[in-house]
Structure 1
């Protein structure tokens, strides 16, 4: 069985930007499917008539290319392969391993015959130097692990016939593509442990030169146990101190940024709905994959409401939105999603609203929003799973996740 999972939405992004004079940048947590996406796209190029020799692909996590982690050696290696040639499609995978890679990317980009694609497994590879150097000359695709729709589609195509609830329970084990091919829960956990260890040691500890790794791990545990809850740097520090970890606010801020840059965690800032402005204090944090969260918090009882909220957050991001936590006076709405056209939509997420008092509590913040943008209440209810409360649409969350 070929271990390639089709990522049609992301593939369409590359097709849209093919041959355009702009660098295609794909960012995403380790093993989220970036290399697979490159392989799928190169297959598409060959099927479209592009000769194999016009497609150059280098993965800098492959030991065969270790010598090319030096920017000058990489440039000298590539130059004879692209100079005086017709169109060349160049894929540089996990380019953050190349020292001063920005210079190579900039030099290659100015060559008219190169269509350039790069990936990285952390956010900081596209920060500061590269973003400044390539300002206005790149488009970024933020690749996430499998959506629920992709997960269900793959399972059904390979012969599984389950209820949506059963698919959802499987999905909670992990959404990373390779876990579709693991044969047991133990094998899945071992795979996730490898990814987590690599992220912590390579993408955070090494970059930030952290001496006391245990402090970092306790911070990660604290953040993953607080998924879906509003927290501040000071609150995080106080939690760590109360558990016997001595740490300063400055260190918490530094480590937190490193964790966010590693892309195993995402931040949702607060948004004042009435004032149409971001709020500086308190944020919510969401895990990139529930399997990694389960690995870190093995003795943690599942908070299924916040787990569902986490999955909805990732799906809203996957659909191209900027996603915030809404504040309406003294009340909160789970998500304010702003699309590329600057159109808003509001989402409240709950496991169930069959009890009248719970329904009223969940609807109340949405009712206080007086604009005409769409408002949704997403639950796992099968009874009364779709309803309309004065313009607020109630939908079954799993049905919503399957919709484009």
Structure 2
């Protein structure tokens, strides 16, 4: 690649990063650490880079110390490992600073981790982003040798979503009808359309979501993993979307998809699900009650964004509700999050916290209320829970039963309640 083009890109990207507007997100980075930002496409990883660049400038650094490169730029198509060294040399011919590298979507360059490790080994500070969780694979983790910290980046939280719409929540806002109505309207959009930051810029949000999904499907899945049975992958994702509330085994999924006309084996399903998780389209949680083998083979699957999930559903309300709760819990508790399914069904269980959560769109039906309360009380009998909750769409009350308290909380209020645990952005 021509060095003069690289130099012009370095200057262009310095100006670009300096003039970016963004919503400040609640995360803090270690001053001297190197970071890998990972997450779903368009979840805001690049904007976290811009935020960190502005933070460094506020701390006294010059924009000329920043070497930011976006590898999705069409002018950089076809770059190889050796070209990364050319970028470093081009910068050093222009400036006397030791640069701070911001390498955006660097997973597009084969063997990128070798270059970044060498940078860190020779004393450079480096930030990288990527849409593929293979950046966290054991091979790359070994190559990076513990030199990078991992920052998972999720779509907007609801509080960030409100901030992006310039809705501020002052003390006792719940008791102000006009503000409460604004929050309710915004949550309805957040609930159905998802929380990818760039989505707010578009009027036709569903078309934008369809376009993004197609890019993830054909770019991050089909092309990257060289998948030949495209129809099987398409049917698998559709089936996972339709089954977010139910555990699914690999064998059952293979049988369903084969019956639908896309003949596929269990091992292929295992591979396809791994690819889909690695691309940050979905995540899974295990059954706390199962033996190890069943934990691995019989999981519940959720989508990282409600807007993408909604593309697959005709009557989405109950599925979107549980999916939104799953996203929030995953951000807070990570690998500590489970479901429980053995004689009783508990939607979400955090054993370390003694917390069990049921998700029910409404408790107006007495049979529904009886079922949800009964499951929690049975779980409490042998798990000795500290806290039991039922998250609904709009209902709020407290249930006292058998000297125990069960909190019934509307999702929009629960999702705005600060967690005592540090969550990913």
TM-score (ref. length: structure 2): 0.82
Determine which of 66, 70, 73 is the counterpart of 1:59.
Answer: 70
After superposition, the C-alpha distances for 1:87-132 in whole angstroms (9 at most, x for unaligned) are: 53211111110111111011011122x2211111011122132111
Count of aligned positions: 384
Alignment partners' CA distance in 2, 1:302 and 1:328: 25
Paired with 2:105 and 2:224, the residues of 1 have a C-alpha distance of 15
CA–CA distance in 1 between the matches of 2:300 and 2:356?
16
Q: Is the 8 A contact 2:231 2:262 kept in 1?
A: no
- Structure 2: gaps (5+ residues): 1-18, 170-177, 419-425
1:4-403 map, 5 Å: 4-9=21-26, 12-14=27-29, 17-20=30-33, 23-66=34-77, 69-79=79-89, 81=91, 88-112=99-123, 114-157=124-167, 162-171=181-190, 172-183=192-203, 187-272=204-289, 279-295=295-311, 297=312, 300-327=313-340, 329-337=342-350, 343-367=353-377, 368-369=379-380, 370-382=383-395, 384-387=396-399, 389=401, 390-403=404-417
Instruction: Say if 1:244 and 1:277 are closer, same or farther in 2 by CA, change over 3 A.
Output: closer
For residue 396 of structure 1, report the CA deviation from its aligned partner.
Answer: 2.1
Return the offset for 1:47: 2.0
Change beyond 3 A, Cα 1:38–1:245 = same
Cα drift, residue 155 of structure 1? 2.2
Note if contact 2:281-2:303 (Cα within 8 Å) is conserved in structure 1: yes
Relative to 1, partners in 2 of residues 1:403 and 1:246: Cα closer, same or farther, differing over 3 Å?
same
CA–CA distance in structure 1, aligned partners of residues 129 and 247 of structure 2: 32
Q: Distance between the aligned counterparts of 1:373 and 1:276, measured in 2?
A: 26
State whether residues 25 and 140 of structure 1, in contact with CA within 8 Å, keep that contact through their aligned partners in structure 2: yes
CA–CA separation in structure 2 for the residues paired with 1:315 and 1:260: 17
Indicate the residue corresponding to 2:172 in structure 1.
none
Superposed CA RMSD in Å reads 2.8
Structure showing the higher helix proportion among its residues:
2
Helix, strand or coil: the match of 2:248? coil
Deviation at 1:24, TM superposition (A): 0.8
Distance in 1 separating the partners of 2:100 and 2:363? 52
**TM-score calculated relative to the size of structure 1:** 0.86
C-alpha separation between the residues in 2 aligned to 1:328 and 1:294? 26
Structure 1 portions without partners, runs of 5+: none
